[in-house]
Each structure stands twice: as structure tokens, then as C-alpha cells.
Structure 1
Amino acid sequence: MKSYVLFFNQVDRSSLPYVGGKGANLGELSKAGFPVPDGFCVTTFAFQDFIATSSDMETFFESLDILDPQDLEPLRKWGERIRTHLEQLAIPAPLEQEIIYAWESAGKEISYAVRSSATAEDLPTASFAGQQDTYLNIRGRDELLRHIRKCWASLFTDRAIAYRAKNGFNHRQVSLSVVVQQMVNPQIAGVMFTADPTNGNRNVVSIDASFGLGESIVSGMVSADLYKVKNGQIIHKNISEKKIGIYPLPEGGTVTKDLPPDQGTKPVLTDDQILSVAKLGKKIEKHFGSPQDIEFCMENGEWFMVQSRPITSLYPLPDIPQEPLRIMFSFGHVQMMTDAMKPLGISVLRTIFPKQAFLEAGGRLFVNPTEVLRTKPGRMILPRVFQHLFDEALSLEIREVIERPEFLNVPPKRGFIKAAYRLVAPILKEVWNNLFKRDPKLARSKVERYMEEKWTAVRKELQGVSGPKRLEAAQYQLSIFGKGMLQNILPIVICFPISFHLLKKALVRWIGDDKKLHQLNKSLPGNITSEMGLVIGDLADLVRELPEVEEYLKQADDQTFDEGLLHVDGGERFKRAFDDFIGKYGNRCAGEIDLTRPRWRETPTQLVPAILGHMRSVKPGEHRQKFLNGEQEADETARRILHQVGSSGFKSRQMKRLIEVYRYIGGVREHPKYLLTLILDECKKAIQAEAEELVKKGVLQHPEEVFYLTLDELIQLSKGEFKPDVSSLVADRKEQYEWHQTLNPPRVMTSEGERVTASPRQGEFPEGALVGNPVSAGVVEGTARVVQKPEEAHLQEGEILIAPHTDPGWTPLFQSAQALVTEVGGLMTHGAVVAREYGIPAVVGVEDATKKIKDGQMIRVDGNQGFVEILSEGNDNR
């Protein structure tokens, strides 16, 4: 039997569908023995039966379904119409009688807080905080019923309608309960977060407190005191000037009063009270099993908890102990792919790399270099490596943590230094030989020979088996891939960034500056990713000759891509050239380190924007001529440098050696990732073949469902040994993946959950400039084109590419861009190296560049000093 009213002692967190998030959490707290004022919940059954009496609601819902949440005026009008209608709608007699009976049982003479509690509220992944209304100090039968009706109507406030629409919640499926809770007449009230909401530290309790009712804090009417507690110690106090307080009136309602000056400037809480309420907050967190956002108050020295909900803004933690303090950095920031990954993609990378060092959190991987950084050499070397190879901000954030006493006071694990030496020593020996002894011109042939052998071995291994054995073979090949790279390719390619910095120092020491260095980076010999970009240009030049093919490409789809080409004039000619491209580069795509991403061979239309964009912005043959000019410029620069240094002697020999190492080994810098994509693609083909078989057997409904399983789970499934229900597991993980996509991963985080942030780079920059890191010299002005995904790009001539990040899958766009700006990156990351090779200015590490810069704005990119200026709003008529 459905109940219209449930008292707090009748509900807990399992009651959410009936009493909403707020009601469920209050019932849970009350049943667990925490100090909660008594009360009851008017259930969602009551709300549903109430609106069912209206003959207009279905029309209202249909109108809400087609509303654009960005179009505020229609949204406002419909919200007002629905609220007015519901506030005038009569409450059915049986429902009204049950509410009144509960009110009389709780106490007719008592004042109540009447608060909305939605079923899509106070959830682990969506708080809906502040979307519905709360009414305080409500007295009497008629006022109670009126405010319950107002709470029901507040499900259709403008902000609530817009929030649901933006977050994909069906208006019909979100129901509302009303919490009726005895009022406390507090001297003090506040909001407590059991994890620091500013940086995510799970060991820090953050407390805002003021005098009177907590509404003054929640509504932002007062600047509350701020206290922070970590591990039972007060670590921060900020005593604000509190000018007003909100207090209940005897006859009902509230009043805002000015506080006396001497009260407004004194601390709200004593030290004992701060520690006491923080301890209570941590107990509540432990009960719920996650950090909580808690509203509390104090009446006559007694604490009361009036609300608790999960903190939904925290980035998830990896599954490791919080103590002792550990540090992790985002693998995605280093690899220029910060998007969330599906479980299969993550498990594949954790098969390649050591699981203990590669940790999963929020659908991303984080690298744990803690043990290395606990050693003195590690603290000296690793931050410098990060600064030169990846991202200056990454280096600064790591330095900030490793200098803390709580990090320094923990020694490395016994035997770690010896084990690390045994691993690193032979690699360093090889690096030395490659830098100073071996012929760098032979590096490419050596690398490519290993790549061919490895790729051939993997294909042979996977083609000779089927079923679980094929999946196990793929898992084995992935597990040995990293070791092979470490021994055979890493000692070669790491010489590129090392030679860059040695060359930079030598240029400054011997000829006075390093301005010629960026010219030596142009048209590196054998760079497989740059060669791919050149072939894209060749395809674009071919399409110029085939107008029917151009028109076809504009409307082509993946399923009929090849077949459709055969029905247009010139299509067969283009298809032969395109097939050659796919044969060599079809294993690539944007975000290519994620095996679950569709490869170009699977979705060839991903390449269409790059081909058509090249036609719009680059003249026929210009891309090849630019590359030749770059080669000539680099050769001429090398000659001038050697002439300045002198034609003989130690300086000349060293400079010549460094230039050759830099250019020839720089040419194979992209080869390791290319090999990785080859191996990933072969493994993906094997996984897809087994997924098709599982679909035929009825184990899976669709082949792509394997992306939501780990590799181990997939092997168990193929053997018939997987216990969980696959359909429900896949559905849960799809929902989790959608949530992960909304998260903004930290660059560096600690095991306490702290999101570490470095101070912006200092310097004399124009007012309002967006500051990043200069990675490719030059200054240009042009029209901004913000691109979130390369397959959606429509670059025009003279436009500047603004992207969240770039990896090799973005390379086809570089020929069309006048300059590059990214949110993520460093001196030696993909976008920086390719930008220097193409000779376009680039600034990377510009925080929120894709949000702060708008399509069509005229901007100046200064790749010399590392900043972006917005010159004018511009026009974007496309």
C-alpha cells in the first residue's frame, strides 16, 4: 500500500524513490542516531496523486519537452504558468487528511521547516542543490498546506526546468517529496564539507558558520566565517565581518536583523566547537561512505544536523590508501588526450603498463611516481624531466607536493633504489651511446626494423587462434609490449628531448642565443606523423581535380563510403589513393591511445573535414613545397651555426653531432606511438571478432558492449566463467562513463584527493592576456576557430586552431592552421613538436582556452612569449 506520509524513523537511503534525496538522507541520519530534528515526509505518491487531478499537466509536460534551455523567455513563461496552476490546485481530501494527521501527531504548536526533496536530488552524481524551494518557520494548518503546495510547484521553477533539460532528466520522471521538519531556533548555523570543496582534499573539513539561521549562508547574504580542520587540527581560520543574521519570528516566518558590530566581528565558533562539529561531520561521512555536504545548527549548545548530501563536485579517487601521502599525475595530460575512457580502453593500457603505477580514477589513468620521488635523485631529476618533456605546470605542481614535510618524512620502500638502478642503468648506457657514439642517421632504420618485426609477430600470434585463446594471446602481446619498447626504442627516442636541451645550452654558450633552434626543428627527416599530414595534402590536391568526389565527400557516410565512391566520376581514382592512405594510417585516430576509439579504417569520414579544410586553406602543392623549404631552411641554419662556431675543433664536432642527433632522432620521435596504435588495432580486430561471436551466441546484445568490460572480464566471458549479469553491468558502466565524461580531470592530485594547482607563469603580459607556455616561435593574428573534436573541424584560410589538446590524430588539421593554442601540453608534447616542424606559432597550457576564446574572435598568438590576446569579437557567419 502506498503511503502519503512517512516519518523519519520509517525511512532510510533505500526510500529515495518515495521521499527524495533530502528526505532519505535525513531518515538515514535519524535512524543512525545522529542529532536530527524530528519530522516527516510527504511522499512522492502524494505529489503524483496531486498533479494527477490536473487535466492540464500533460499539455504542460509536452511544452517543456520541446523547450530550449537556453531560450530563457519561453522557459520563464511556462514555468510561471505551471507554478500558478499548481498553487491554485486543490489538494485531494484523503491526501490532505493524512498530512494533517501527521502534523497533529508531530505537534500542532510547533514551527516547521517545509523543504522540497526531489527524487533526482542529493545523488552521488547530481546534487540538484537549490533547484527547488525551502520555507522556514511555518506555523499552523493552513500555512503548512499552502507551503507544501508551493514546494510541489517549485519543481517547475525556471532554474529547475533548465537544470533538468541541460542534464537530460525527463520532467515526468522527476518527482517531489516534501520534508516537514521541526524548526530549531539556533544561535549558530553553518554548512560543513567533509572534504575541501576547493581542492578536493578528503582529509580537510571545511566549515562556513554564521549567527542565526543557515539561510543567510546558503542564500549568500552574509560572508560567513571559514574554518578548516585536518586530522583533528585546525589549519585555517578566516573570521569575516558578519553584518546580518536571519532569525525566526514567534508568529511564523523569518526576519533579517542587523548584527551589533561587536558580535559581527567575533568568531562564530570556538576552537572546541570547530573540532567538535568537524568530528561529527567525519562520523556522518563514514556512515554514508562518501564525503558529505552537511547543513548544521546549534541551539543552546546542542548540535543538530538538518541536511546531508554527497559532495558531487569532487573528482573520484584511485583505489589506494590515502596515507602516507602519495602523488599522481594525469597520463592523459602527458599523452594529450584528457577525455574519459571506457573500461576496456583503461584495462588495455593497464595491461601494457604496470598496474601498480597506473591507477584508474574517473575514467582516466593516473601515474603514481611516488616511490621515485621519495628518493633524493628522483626529486632532483623527475620534476626537471617533466618540465622539459611535458608541461611546466605539471612540474611546478609536483614540486609543490614533494617539498611538504609529510612527503619528505616518508622514506622509499626498502630495496627500491637498487631495483630502480638495475632497471635504469642499462637504459642510460644505451642513451649515452646513442647521444655521443652511434650514427644517428641509422636510428630510423633500427627503429623501423624493430617495429616491423614486432607488428609481424603480433599479427602472426593473433591470426593463428580463436576464442578465448585469441583474447589471451592479445593480452600477452600487450603485456610484453612495454618491456620491448623500454629496451629497443626508448633509449633512442629519448635522445630527442635531451639533445634539444643540450643544443639549446650549446647555442647560448657558443653563439650567444638559441633563436635558430626552432628552425632546426622544421621538416624533420622521417617523421611518420608529418608524412601522414603530407599525404592528407596529396589527397586534398587530388580532390581538387575531382569535383564530383568533393561533393560526395560532403555527404558521405561510413557504412557506404567505399561503395558510394564507385558511383561518382573520379571516385575510383580517389578510392585507390585513399585506400593506400588507410592501409598505412588507418590504425590511427584522435585519442588513439584508447583502443575503444573508432579508427580511421572504421570511420573514414573522420578524415573528410581535414581533406576539405586543406583544400580551402592551402594552395595546390603548397604543403610539399613548405616541407622542402623547411628542409632547406634547417640545412642552411645548421651551416650558419657551424660557421659561427668554427669549422674545426671540439665545439664544431659537438655542435655538428648535436644537430644530427636532434634532427635524425627527432624524425623517429612519433614512431613509438605509431607502433602502439598498430598493436592496439590488431588487438582490437581480435576483440571485435570475438565480440561478434559472443553476439551470435546471445551472450552480448551488441559487439560494442565489450568496450564496457575489462580485458580480464572479456576473457572470462568468452570462457563462460563470468558470473555477473552482463546486460545490467554494461548498463551501469555506460551510465558511469557518461558521468566520467562530464568530469574535469586534475593534472596532479594527491592520495588525499587534493587537486594541486600551480601559480600562473609570471611575466609582463598585456592586460587580459591568456597566459600559457611558448612552444613554437612567431606572432600571428587571425580568426579563432574552436575545435573540440578533429572530425568536426571546419577550418578556413587564416584561422587559428583552438583545441583542448592534440595528439597525432589531429595532425591533418595542422596544415590548415595559422597557429595553435591548446589547454594542455608542453615543450616536447605532440602539438608543440609538430607546430615547430610546420613553422606555425603555438602556445600551450592555456587554462580553459576553448571556453575563454570564442569562434570568430580576432586574436593574437604570441609564440615567443607565450600568451594569447583577444583583439575583437569578430564575426562568425558560418
Structure 2
Amino acid sequence: MKAHVLFFNEVDRSSLPYVGGKGANLGELRKAGFPVPEGFCVTTYAYQDLIATSPEMESLLNELNAMDPGDLNQLRKLGESIRTHLQQLEIPAQMKNEILHAWESVGKDYAYAVRSSATAEDLPTASFAGQQDTYLNIKGSDELLRHIRKCWASLFTDRAISYRAKNGFDHRQVYLSVVVQRMVNPEISGIMFTADPVNGNRTVVSIDASFGLGEAIVSGIVSADLYKVKSGEIIHKNISEKKKAIYSLPEGGTVTKELPRDQQTKQTLTDGQIVSLARLGKRIEKHFGSPQDIEFCIENGEVFVVQSRPITSLYPLPDMPQEPLRVMFSFGHVQMMTDAMKPLGISVLRTMASANVMLEAGGRLYVDPTDVLHLKLGRKILPHALNNADEAISRAICEVIQRPEFLKVPPKPGLSRAIRPFIVPILKEVWKNLLKRDPKLAKEKVEAFMQKKLTEVRDNLKGLRGPARLEAVQYQLDTLLRDVLPNILPYPLTFVILSIWLKKALIRWMGDDKILHRLNKSLPGNITSEMGLQIGDLADLVRELPEVEEYLKHANDQNFYEGLAKIKGGERFKKALEDFMAKYGMRCPGEIDLTKPRWREAPTQLVPAILGHMRSVKPGEHRQRFIQGEQEAQEAAQVIIRQVERSRIKSKYAKRFIEVFRYLGGLREHHKYLMVSVMDECKKAIMAEAGDLVEKGVLQQAEDVYYFTLDELIQLSKGEFKEDVSQVISDRKEKYEWYQTLKPPRVMTSEGEIVTVSPRQGEFPKGALIGSPVSAGVVEGKARIVLKPEEAFLHEGEIIVAPHTDPGWTPLFQSAKALVTEVGGLMTHGSVVAREYGIPAVVGVDDATKKIKDGQMIRVDGNQGFVEFLSDKNE
């Protein structure tokens, strides 16, 4: 028979299915010798045997699982019915005897804390803490049994039901154990986090403490003292006014009392107790192998641990030492794609770059520039360069590199010499671009190199199969940047340098740099802008083909082209789309992640952009706008040149640099276009190999390769992968789902600290959302929240509000009146394209897609960098 009762010394972390998270952790701690008051667990078997006595319980649980979790009235009614039913069930006689025998063994004269402990509680990826109930100072057998029954019923409180539904847990698969623990009657209680719960710093222990029972802190009736300890030293104290405390009553139950005035402002813990508790917390953390949320109490000067659970709110850290202090920034924020990536996508990017610099955390990649930042020149240049990608990243990096603990670390020996051979040739090329070369010839030269490289990749992958094919993929990715950077990087880098120079020069010459945004319009040769124009051409073609338009509204990817062939005008549109795909089919939203479906794989992703263009842009208007942008840029150039024509030298350099600025600005997307093209050729090879692995029975479906690294795929192909393939895929799918729920920080340190800085200061309208101004102009319009471009439904005059944009979002820009994004900087894709199209843009607006309602009227000020609300509700 499965035990209905287990004592703490009989359970450990492996007992979670029987005693839940709380019970398993307490047993683990007591076994390891930590000061845990004795007690026992009424196991999940007891709960299951109890509900098995009820014929109605199965139908009630079925009804609960079928319920819409958003229907709060139904949720309340069902929850109340189940709780009432559970509290009326008679506990079987044998189970009751086992519980009372355990209670007598610990001591029937003690008071007890009776707490729920769910099997889905206190997991590394989900904490059900606080979802069920806790009862304190319970005395006597009748009260004990009554409160155990109440704990069982608390599995179906409204908040517990809602939490499980939100996190995707089946109500039938979450069982409840009840922890019965000897009650400590403390003078002081508190909560200790072994990592800072606010900023995530793993080296800081944060302690909240107050007088009496800890329930006063948990329930929020008292503001506890706050202490922070780092490396054995108290680094922060906040002594609160503690007006009340909760104490146990001799007869059972608790009472809330007003504290004496002289005790209200007294420091709850002595400095010695603070440091000692922090040491204890770190010992518990080390035992469990992860940061812990610990409840403690102090009785007669003795410390007791009454609960410990993992802190689930911390963003995962890369696998790296905490010391010496290092700083990392989010690659996804710089690339305007902050979604979680599957293992193959991460592996591909780490193969292309250096795995030592590109670190994985929470399904995202973080760049570690610490060694460069230890160089004086690196501290001067890199933050300025990052400012063009994301202003908030730049300011956070600047904050860290000014810290004494960062500055005390000496530069890595020989680093300057190692960097020089890479940097100097690129800077020489930039110098030639600035002063010597004909900028009109740059596009031809760059595209000739791109074609040569792409042909080389295709030839090297052709005809290979098995491990040789995957090893060739790995080699092509590993050597890609080595070829791309010296051959293409000098061109966009020249454009960035000239952007900075022109901005400063215009302020000197004209008093401000407002005219610069006109110089950015319709840059010649921008491969991504040309893609947007061709989307407009496709839309204009569909206007002539009403049956194609109707088909696109209901098309699916599986038989997209076959279906086109069956309708009037379908072949004509198919030919135009195939021409488009030949040049741009490797692109898609989030294109830096190889596992994202390309347009060639999922052509319906383009449908919203085509139909949206038809709704919001007149026939041929996109081409006319581009021509108009060219004219405005030419006129702006003439205005600038006239301003300095009295100075022969200024006039000469102004003409030269404006011309270089425009022609080389048109090349700023070419390096990424080539990288994505090469990645797509590699993807074709990987998926061909995936098909072979499916045929061999190694994988169930081709997309399973997304859950392996390149090295692991080579092992799979060779038959050398040692782990259970199905289990690995299952585990990684589950982890990926969790990663998708996380919000990645822009900047964090090796200590786990999420570094944030306050928004820019300035004279902004009350309640406005502050970001970075990246494309000039002020417009008003309806906000259209777009989380995925393939699901966008834009109308004329609407403002795109998005988490981020990359080249895969370009098709929507023709239809937008303005752009607001949560990430981005002056030189990121969305900003440059917005300037080319002449639409205002504000980027780096935190949580814009949550704070702005869909359909709400807003004003976007691309001059000053803010978004103002013009209505409270959506219209």
C-alpha cells in the first residue's frame, strides 16, 4: 500500500510526486542537517484516495478543464462547488488513524503549521507559492483534521485554478500533499532571497524581517526591514516602521497586535544575525544548486528554516564565473529580434561568431564585450557604437564600466595587439571610401563579392550527404564573418561615421541637424527598401486580379502555388511572386534565427503585407513616394551646400561627404542580406539531412533538428549521439516554451544583475512614453499593435506599434503612418527604413505593446522621442 503519511526524515527532493514541492524541500533540508522544525507530510496518495471515494469528483474536474479560464463567474462557481464538496468528504478511517499517529509521534501538545504542498509547486520554471492556503497555530486532533481538509480544498481556490489554467497545467494532474510542521513561536520572522529579487544579482542576499510571525510580511500588513548582504558585508539597510505583528494564541489561532512605539522603529535583526542568516542562505542555495526563496524564524535566538523554494522569477544566467565582474548585452535587442530561439538557431549564430563572446541565456544570445571594455579606447568607442543600436543598452553599459570593481580589472595582455590586425585594414578601407573612391561604384563591387560568396557556398554544399554535408555547413558558417566583415563592413561603417560627422557639422553650420532626416530619404541601392518597393508592385498586380486577391485571403502554405495555378490570373501572379522569392525568399521576420520559416517555405506570411498595402496605399504611390524622397534628398543636399559655399574647403567636403553618405548608406543592409542568404543555403542542406534522419527513424519529423546543436546533428548523422533522442527533444521543447515566457534584459552582468537606467530626462507631456527619436516628424493616428507581421491587418493612416522590427517587417512600412518599437536605436533596421520612407519613428519604448491599446489614438513625436496618448480607450 502506498503511504498516506511520510515524516520529513523519510523524504527528499526525489519525493516531489508524493509530498509536493514544499514537503520535498523541507525533507531535503532536514536530511542535510539544516535547522528545520520536525513534522510530516500527508501525501498525494492520501489526496487521491480521498477523491476516489467521490463519484462526482471526476465530472467536476472534467468540467473545470473544459471551462474558459477567462470566464470568471463560471470559475468562481465551479471552484466553490469543488471546495464545498471536498470539505464534506469523510476522511477514510485508516487514513485518519495514520495522520493522528504521526501527529502524536511528533507531539500532540505542540501547535502546528498546516500548509499545502502541490506537485506542481516550487518547480524551477513555475512557482505555485501562495496559490493554496496555510494555517498557523493549529492545536488538537479535530482542528488538525479540519485544516488538512481545508488545505485539500484550497487546491481549488479561484487564484489556484486561474494560475494553473494560465500556465497550462491540467487540473487532474496537479495533486496536493499537506505539510504538518511543529509550530515555532518566534520573536522574529522573515523571508530571505539568496539572489536580489529586484535586479537578479546572484551575489546579493536580500532579507526582509519583522517581529512576530512571518504571516504579517506575507499578508502585507507590515512593511518589514530590508537588509542586503554581499560577500559577507551588509551593503544596504532600510529600517521600516513596523506598527503591527501577528502572534500565536495559547488556545490556538493567531492575533494581530499593535507593537509598542519604541519597538516600531527598532532594527529587527542585529548586524550579526543579518550576516549569519546570509551565510545560512548561501549554504542552502549551494545545497539545492539554485537561488532560494527561504522563510525563516527566530525563537529564543535560534534560527529555524520553515520553507525553501527556488526563485523562479530570475532570468537565467550564461554558464560563466560570477567573478571578476563581466557585462553582457542582448544580441537580440541589437538585431531587433528578442524572441527565444531553439538550440539550432543559437548554435548557428554561435558558430558564425565566437562562442566565447556569444553566450546563451534563456534561449537568447548575449554578447560579452568585457575584454574590449577593459581597454581605455574600447570604453570610449563601444558605448558610442552601441548607442546607434539601442540607447538604453549604451547607457547601461556606461553605468557598469564606471564602477570601481570593473575598472580595477586590468586589460587582457596582448588584446590590443590581437585586435589591431582586424581593425586596421577595415579602417584603411573606410578612409579610402571617405576620400578616394567613387561611391557610385561601391554597390557593384559589393554585390559582385556577394554573388561570388553565395556561389562558393552553394558549390561547396552541392552533392554532399550525411556527416560530410553537415560538416560542410558548419565550415561555411564558421568562416562566413571572416569573409564578410573585411569585404562589406567598411561600407556601412563609413555611412555610420558620416552620419555622426554630418550631425555635428550641420549643428555648427545651420544651428540644428533637422535637415539630416531628408538626406536619409530614398537611399540609392538599399536592398531591403527595394524589397519593400517590390512588395508594393506585387500589391498593385493583385489589384488587377480580383480572383487572386480573394484566393490570398484564404490561402495556405501546403498547396499555395498549386492553388494559384487553378484560378484566373494565378499564373501571372505566381510568376511575379517566384521572381520576388528568387531574390528575397530567404528572408522572414526574425531572420537571424535559422529555425524561423522563410518566406519561400511559408509564402502566406507575405499576404497581410500585400493586402494591407492595397488597403492603405494608392496604385503606384509607393514608387512615387520613393521618387519624391530622392528629390527631397537632392534639395536638402543643395541647401546644405549653399550654406557653406563661401568656404571652398567646406563646400568641397560637404559635396563629397553627402554623396558618399547617400551611396554607402544604401549598402548598410547588404552584409545582413548576404549572411541570411548563406544561412538559408545552410538551412536547405540541414533540412535535407533532417529528411534522411527521418527516413532512418532517428527523428520523427524534420523540424526536430531545431532542438539540436550543429555538433549534435553531426553526432546524430554519424550514429554517435549517446542520449535518448526523443527525451532530449521533449525536454528541450518544454524548456523552449518556458524561455518564450521570459522577458530578456538588455544588459546584465556575470553576477546576474539586470542593469537598467531611468528614461531620458526632458520636457515631455504628462503620461507620455519616452523612447529614442530616430526618424523626424510628428503625426497622430490610430495605434495598431503588431506582434507578428504575418498577422498584421493595417489600414490607411495607422501607426505600427511593435516589439521590434527587422527586414522581415519591411513589407508593412509602406502602409504605416509612423513606427513605435520597444527596442532599437538610430541605426537599427526599422529606424533607417523609417527615415527612408519619411515616417516618424520612436524606438526603445519599454512595454509599448502593452501600454498602448490597439486602436488607441496616439501622437508620435519623432523629433523629441515620445508617444503621447490622445484617447484613453481604443476607438
Q: What's the TM-score, normalizing by structure 1?
A: 0.99
Aligned residues: 875
Distance 2:312 2:660 in 1: 50
Match of 1:451 in 2: 450
What letter corresponds to residue 53 of structure 1 in structure 2? T
Contact 2:19 2:42 (8 Å CA) reproduced:
yes
Distance 2:838 2:540 in 1: 21
Contact 1:22 1:309 (8 Å CA) reproduced:
yes
Unaligned runs of 5+ in 1: none
Measured after TM superposition, the shift of residue 487 of structure 1 is 1.3
What SS does the corresponding residue of 2:814 show, helix, strand or coil? coil
Distance 2:283 2:441 in 1: 64
Matched, 1:773 2:761: no
Measured after TM superposition, the shift of residue 70 of structure 1 is 2.2
Match of 1:339 in 2: 339
Match of 1:131 in 2: 131
Distance 2:27 2:612 in 1: 59
Contact 1:506 1:655 (8 Å CA) reproduced:
no
Match of 1:372 in 2: 372
Could you tell which deviates more after superposition, 554-563 or 509-518?
509-518
Distance 1:222 1:593 in 2: 49
Distance 2:174 2:792 in 1: 37
Match of 1:543 in 2: 542
What SS does the corresponding residue of 2:815 show, helix, strand or coil? coil
Contact 1:213 1:246 (8 Å CA) reproduced:
yes
What letter corresponds to residue 273 of structure 1 in structure 2? Q
Distance 2:853 2:778 in 1: 19
Contact 2:820 2:848 (8 Å CA) reproduced:
yes
Distance 1:224 1:437 in 2: 68
What letter corresponds to residue 13 of structure 2 in structure 1? R
Unaligned runs of 5+ in 2: none
Match of 1:13 in 2: 13
Match of 2:410 in 1: 411
Distance 1:625 1:129 in 2: 60
Contact 1:342 1:708 (8 Å CA) reproduced:
yes
Match of 1:116 in 2: 116
What SS does the corresponding residue of 1:680 show, helix, strand or coil? helix
Match of 1:761 in 2: 760
Matched, 1:87 2:125: no
Distance 2:145 2:20 in 1: 19
Contact 2:853 2:873 (8 Å CA) reproduced:
no
Measured after TM superposition, the shift of residue 493 of structure 1 is 1.4
Distance 1:173 1:379 in 2: 53
Give matches, 1:815-830, under 5 Å: 815-830=814-829
Distance 1:753 1:661 in 2: 43
What SS does the corresponding residue of 2:699 show, helix, strand or coil? coil
What SS does the corresponding residue of 2:229 show, helix, strand or coil? strand
Contact 2:194 2:202 (8 Å CA) reproduced:
yes
Distance 2:856 2:49 in 1: 53
What letter corresponds to residue 577 of structure 1 in structure 2? A
Give matches, 1:463-862, under 5 Å: 463-646=462-645, 649-862=648-861
Contact 1:511 1:645 (8 Å CA) reproduced:
no
Measured after TM superposition, the shift of residue 726 of structure 1 is 0.8
Measured after TM superposition, the shift of residue 71 of structure 1 is 2.1
Measured after TM superposition, the shift of residue 743 of structure 1 is 0.7
What SS does the corresponding residue of 1:815 show, helix, strand or coil? helix
Paired-residue identity, %:
75
* 1:32-87 CA-partner distances (Å, limit 9, x unpaired): 00000000000000000111111111221122112222221111111111111111
Match of 2:871 in 1: 872
Match of 1:147 in 2: 147
Contact 1:467 1:718 (8 Å CA) reproduced:
yes
Contact 2:384 2:394 (8 Å CA) reproduced:
yes
Distance 2:81 2:721 in 1: 53
Measured after TM superposition, the shift of residue 870 of structure 1 is 1.2
What letter corresponds to residue 94 of structure 1 in structure 2? Q
Give matches, 1:51-130, under 5 Å: 51-130=51-130
Distance 1:824 1:476 in 2: 32
Distance 1:657 1:4 in 2: 85
Match of 1:291 in 2: 291
Contact 1:344 1:709 (8 Å CA) reproduced:
yes
Could you tell which deviates more after superposition, 418-427 or 678-687?
418-427
* 1:4-39 CA-partner distances (Å, limit 9, x unpaired): 000000000000000000000000000000000000
Measured after TM superposition, the shift of residue 875 of structure 1 is 4.0
Measured after TM superposition, the shift of residue 263 of structure 1 is 0.3
Contact 1:859 1:872 (8 Å CA) reproduced:
yes
What letter corresponds to residue 330 of structure 2 in structure 1? S
Give matches, 1:424-435, under 5 Å: 424-435=423-434
Measured after TM superposition, the shift of residue 257 of structure 1 is 0.4
What letter corresponds to residue 181 of structure 2 in structure 1? Q
Task: Label 1:280 to 1:875 Cα distance change in 2 as closer, same or farther (>3 A).
Answer: closer
* 1:786-811 CA-partner distances (Å, limit 9, x unpaired): 01111110011111100000000000
Distance 2:152 2:376 in 1: 62
Match of 2:178 in 1: 178
Could you tell which deviates more after superposition, 640-649 or 752-761?
640-649
What letter corresponds to residue 697 of structure 2 in structure 1? G
What letter corresponds to residue 775 of structure 1 in structure 2? V
Measured after TM superposition, the shift of residue 142 of structure 1 is 0.6
Measured after TM superposition, the shift of residue 874 of structure 1 is 4.5
What SS does the corresponding residue of 2:306 show, helix, strand or coil? strand
* 1:487-524 CA-partner distances (Å, limit 9, x unpaired): 11111211111111111111122233211100010000
Match of 1:320 in 2: 320
* 1:352-402 CA-partner distances (Å, limit 9, x unpaired): 001111111111110000001011111111111111x21111111001111
What letter corresponds to residue 506 of structure 2 in structure 1? L
Distance 2:95 2:555 in 1: 59
Moved beyond 6 Å, runs of 4+: none
Matched, 1:255 2:255: yes
What SS does the corresponding residue of 1:471 show, helix, strand or coil? helix
Match of 1:306 in 2: 306
What SS does the corresponding residue of 1:820 show, helix, strand or coil? strand
Distance 2:219 2:124 in 1: 23
Contact 1:856 1:873 (8 Å CA) reproduced:
no
Measured after TM superposition, the shift of residue 244 of structure 1 is 0.4
Distance 2:712 2:828 in 1: 34
What letter corresponds to residue 734 of structure 1 in structure 2? K
Superposition CA RMSD, Å: 0.9
Matched, 1:223 2:246: no
Measured after TM superposition, the shift of residue 573 of structure 1 is 1.1
Measured after TM superposition, the shift of residue 559 of structure 1 is 0.2
What letter corresponds to residue 518 of structure 1 in structure 2? H
Could you tell which deviates more after superposition, 486-495 or 734-743?
486-495
